[in-house]
Amino acid sequence: MVSTEYERRIAARFASFDQDGNGWIDRGDFNAAAKALLAEFAVPARSARGQALYAGAEAFWQGMAGIADRDGDQRITREEFVTGAVKRLRDNPDRFAEIARPFLHAALAVADADGDGLIGADDTVRVLRVFHVPQETARQVAAALGADGEGGVGEQRIVPAFARYFTVPE
């Protein structure tokens, strides 16, 4: 049982990464997220955008494992996530942004159908839903990012926002 608001938030972030819900985060979860995102936007895995997304997912996994997988078993448990990832990344959100950037760059390209470098509110929500973000929260995040104004939101705002979301304040 989660008891505090902080624990509830951590649980939600963990669930975003633990795509198959088996209680730990591994490479397969990152591949699953890439696959789900490609399916959501009907982009073929073998396309350039699809391959870039898988490469970004692998780099993201490697970066997260390097920070959080203390015992080196290629799995990030909930405890490793809390003590390794969340605490260390909170101290250094730029580091998280760098680890996540290739994946986010590729994800933006997948969701950006017209290729203008921006995605609108509805597409932002679709991306967040792939990461198990509840509909209402996804709507709020999209609005806070300004995705509903002036053609949408781009990488410059998405990357730091993503880092803020996952480095949960205590």
**Contacting residues toward Ca ion, per CB under 5 A:** 18, 20, 22, 29, 69, 71, 73, 75
Smaller CB distance to Ca ion: residue 20 or 116?
Answer: 20
DSSP letter string, 107-157: HHHHH-TT-SS-B-HHHHHHHHHHTT--HHHHHHHHHHHTTTSTT-B-HHH
- Cβ nearer to Ca ion, comparing 15 with 55: 15
C-beta of 131 vs 142, nearer to Ca ion: 131
Residues 69 and 162 sit within 8 Å (Cβ to Cβ): no
Nearer to Ca ion, 13 or 75 (CB): 75
Least separation, in Å, of the C-beta of 69 and Ca ion? 4
CB of 47 to Ca ion, least distance (A): 26
CB of 132 to Ca ion, least distance (A): 12
| Burial class of residue 36 (count of CB atoms within 10 Å of its CB; 0-12, 13-18, 19+) | middle
Least CB distance to Ca ion at residue 134 (A): 19
Closest Cα to residue 37, out of 132, 159, 127, 154?
A: 127
| AA letter at 158 | I
Return the amino acid letter for 65.
Answer: A
